[in-house]
Structure 1
Amino acid sequence: MSIVIVGAGLAGATAATELREQGHTGPIVLLGSEEHPPYERPPLSKSYLLGEDPFEKALVHPREWYAEHDVDLRLGVTATGLDTDAHVVTTSDGDVPYERLLLATGAEPRVLDVAEDAGVPVAYLRTKDDSDRLREAFAKGRKVVVVGGGWIGLEAAAAARQAGAEVTLYETEDLPLVHVLGPTVAQVFADLHREHGVQLRLGTEVTAEHLEGADLVVAGIGVKPRVDLAHSGGLDVDNGVLVDSRLRTSVPSVLAVGDIANHAHPRLGRRIRVEHWDTAIKQAKVAAHNLAGGDEEYEEMPYFFTDQYDLGMEYVGSASEDDEVVVHGSLEDREFRAFWLRDGDVVAAMHVNDWDAGDVIKEAVDSGELPEDESD
């Protein structure tokens, strides 16, 4: 059985790896629009951007791995159309037939129109080439404006400050990350960046005047799933490609994973689309099993992490800013565990700089039970 994977990122490469490790011997074609072999994206805003790790450390595999495992890796190839009746993907390099298809086309940054229209230098952070541009621009004395106080914006601001740049960050909400973490924990990140010299402009809609004099504007206003290919194939699309609990699209021979997958989560009882490293890996493994004839549900809870200055954090679950938050430890010292409760059940948990807490927060979300406060 021939399997074609569109998207040579972390999810696509992980699926190809899992197929081979599970004994699939049929043809695998892995299509990627970038010229680089598949790589992980978190280092682009963390260790690679900071110059701490070489790019090779971010690669899923060395380039030769793909030929050695009979994976037909085609780089610099863009998929432009999909015919699910004929089982053919149209690409910039010709038609590619398939028996089973996996879409892992990822997401692309939302364009910051105010910066583009003003003609100021504007950069986004999605690819290695984007990260290379930021590394060159982040230098002592440079004036950097970051627009957006989400994870990418905050990580970019931290990297710029650590390189000695002057940084001003604009966020429309009253606190960065408030929709994800709620005001109590979001305040920790606001305080962290202020202490490291970032000028926070919160509750502020950025204008062209705000961007004047900047050496570089970094736009971190979110991403949108790349669904044009799915649209062309007639798949059901709504804030991503709609997939069932087994990651199957509205056409059973086509699966979708990663940033584009709007997934009917069996544990949460609702749809969720997650744009994080862990989901890309774990969904890809389940999808690989199902492409090869399996019938597995994807039921992992969302997980993500961040590193900013001397703060490291891991988060498990899915909370909203309206959920009750209980903190064990010290917000001021930035060493704590936080648990979000809804109707008395733990729906999400995180730790900051408490590296013994990984299993604790996961168990709390899995069980729904608040653990005892060990910091007392």
Structure 2
Amino acid sequence: MAMDSIAIIGAGQAGAALAARLRQAGFQGGIDVFGAESAPPYQRPPLSKKYLAGDWEQERLWLRPAQFWREQGIALHLGGTVEALDLASRTLRCGGRRHGWRKLALTTGAAPRPLPAAFAGRSNVFELRNLADVQRLQPAFLAGRRLLVLGGGYIGLETAAVAAQAGLSVQVVERASRVLERVACPATAAAIRALHQRHGVLIHEGRTVAGTEGDEALTGVELDNGLRIACDLVVAGVGVAPQTALAEAAGIDCDDGILVDAYGRTSAPDVWAAGDCARFVLGGEPARLESVQNAIDQAEAVADDMLGQGRPYQPVPWFWSDQYDMKLQIVGLNRGYDAVVSHASAKGESHWYFRADRLISVDALNDGRAYMVGKKLLEAGRAVGRGEVERPGFEPMQLLRDQAESRLR
């Protein structure tokens, strides 16, 4: 085992960013990246949008061209599962072979939660977590087909939007009282619901599937209110869970994710974690973020710490979702919000979240200016009160100017 070797388990956005950062920062030792999929590291957000719609070729998904990994001396071990970690000997087992490491990063991501038994194993029920899932769905994604989407979160709604635009008949079933209930305020959810309804999508909120029809393929479902929905294919977007089994088996502390400190360090010496699988303290509360921004930024912070250049990772998270001609941009975390102030703009709207009279998050729907202002204020740690956003004639850029002037007084 080379004394300066680093192994990265997980070849997604976080794993790729971590490996690239190590080289950028001057690390010259061995870097081994292990990924269960046969594809090289690729972007996941376009899977349920541009790639599913056929607007992107497969190669456009790749995070880096093939020559990048060769030129940087980063070894990709793809298409095999890491079966075990031995922290004492600093080895891992993949495909029956042992690999040594001096330092280790876990970027194992998250995986779809198990499907309800009535849906598992059906030939026309699909999940959209990886490239193979989407490639299996694409041949069935034809105009005139009847699509049932289980789950009104971002993945489910993005899939519904692509399907409706492709000419499929789409219905969405969400067991919560409204779509995006866990992640957005009622006003944001209402705007997105109305957008889908304008495109002919039927949304059933506060409903569960009480029964199913069909044998090998699912031909229909019955909801708990007795409504029957016929379908030709089903996409399940029922949420994901962090992939922690490998870490847990090795004795690393986990609780809804691999527990890490502000530097990404786990409970095991010389073992770090980053991305969807990592749970850390943000703003005094535990957080596990599922986003491209977090995957990249936390991975780069971990790479720096592995090389002795660590800095506490305390991000202002941001996310986005593209549906039809609407771009939803989100900055901050809205957990625990107690008030929302909404504003319409020329082409969209924005919703400003407050907790104890302090701005904590902004949802901007086709309102890039509101998003940009909210992001600048939150990143600067400015204390913006509800009254500043509620006043008549509110204009985001004026709020930014007012805040700048107040700092000069």
Q: Return 336-345 or 366-375, whichever deviates more.
A: 366-375
1:343 to 356, 372, 376: 356
- CA distance in 1 between counterparts of 2:129 and 2:352 reads 30
1:309 to 316, 324, 327: 324
Aligned runs of 1:100-111 on 2, under 5 Å? 100-111=103-114
Shift of 1:227: 0.8
Which residue identity is paired with 1:171?
A: E
CA 25–313 in structure 1, closer or farther in 2 if over 3 Å, else same: same
2:362–2:371 Cα contact (<8 Å) kept: no
SS of residue paired to 1:274: coil
Who is 1:271 aligned against? 286
CA 141–3 in structure 1, closer or farther in 2 if over 3 Å, else same: same
2:313 to 273, 298, 309: 298
SS of residue paired to 1:356: helix
CA 185–102 in structure 1, closer or farther in 2 if over 3 Å, else same: same
Which residue identity is paired with 2:262?
A: S
Who is 1:188 aligned against? 191
SS of residue paired to 1:207: strand
1:205 to 180, 203, 208: 208
Which residue identity is paired with 1:329?
A: A
Which residue identity is paired with 1:236?
A: D
Who is 2:215 aligned against? none
2:144–2:167 Cα contact (<8 Å) kept: yes
2:37–2:78 Cα contact (<8 Å) kept: yes
Deviations 1:239-261 (A, max 9, x none): 01001111110013100011100
Shift of 1:134: 2.7
- CA distance in 1 between counterparts of 2:298 and 2:54 reads 30
2:337–2:354 Cα contact (<8 Å) kept: no
Who is 1:62 aligned against? 65
Shift of 1:67: 1.1
Who is 1:218 aligned against? 235
SS of residue paired to 1:85: coil
Which structure has the bigger radius of gyration?
2
Q: Give me the CA root mean square deviation.
A: 1.8
Shift of 1:93: 4.4
Deviations 1:139-169 (A, max 9, x none): 1110110000000010011111111111110
1:246 to 263, 266, 277: 263
- CA distance in 2 between counterparts of 1:336 and 1:232 reads 47
Shift of 1:114: 4.4
1:179–1:320 Cα contact (<8 Å) kept: no
1:9 to 12, 29, 38: 12
2:330–2:363 Cα contact (<8 Å) kept: yes
- CA distance in 2 between counterparts of 1:111 and 1:208 reads 18
Deviations 1:180-221 (A, max 9, x none): 112122111111111111111111012333536421111101
SS of residue paired to 2:56: coil
| 2:391 aligned with 1:374 | no
Deviations 1:291-319 (A, max 9, x none): 11222111112211000001101101111
| 2:382 aligned with 1:361 | no
CA 70–21 in structure 1, closer or farther in 2 if over 3 Å, else same: same
1:123–1:218 Cα contact (<8 Å) kept: yes
Deviations 1:59-116 (A, max 9, x none): 1101221111100111112111111111111111411111110000111111221442
CA 136–361 in structure 1, closer or farther in 2 if over 3 Å, else same: farther
1:118–1:208 Cα contact (<8 Å) kept: no
SS of residue paired to 2:134: helix
User: Which protein has greater RCO, CA pairs closer than 8 Å, 6+ apart?
Assistant: 1
Who is 2:91 aligned against? 88
- CA distance in 2 between counterparts of 1:8 and 1:109 reads 17
SS of residue paired to 1:64: helix
Who is 2:116 aligned against? 113
1:21 to 21, 24, 37: 24
Aligned length: 372
Q: Return 280-289 or 174-183, whichever deviates more.
A: 174-183
SS of residue paired to 1:349: strand
2:347–2:367 Cα contact (<8 Å) kept: no
Shift of 1:118: 8.2
- CA distance in 1 between counterparts of 2:20 and 2:6 reads 12
1:147–1:206 Cα contact (<8 Å) kept: no
CA 118–244 in structure 1, closer or farther in 2 if over 3 Å, else same: closer
Which residue identity is paired with 1:350?
A: D
CA 272–321 in structure 1, closer or farther in 2 if over 3 Å, else same: closer
Shift of 1:359: 2.5
Q: TM-score, normalised by structure 1?
A: 0.94
Who is 2:277 aligned against? 260
- CA distance in 1 between counterparts of 2:383 and 2:352 reads 10
2:51–2:57 Cα contact (<8 Å) kept: yes
Which residue identity is paired with 2:105?
A: L
1:235 to 235, 252, 273: 252
- CA distance in 2 between counterparts of 1:46 and 1:286 reads 29
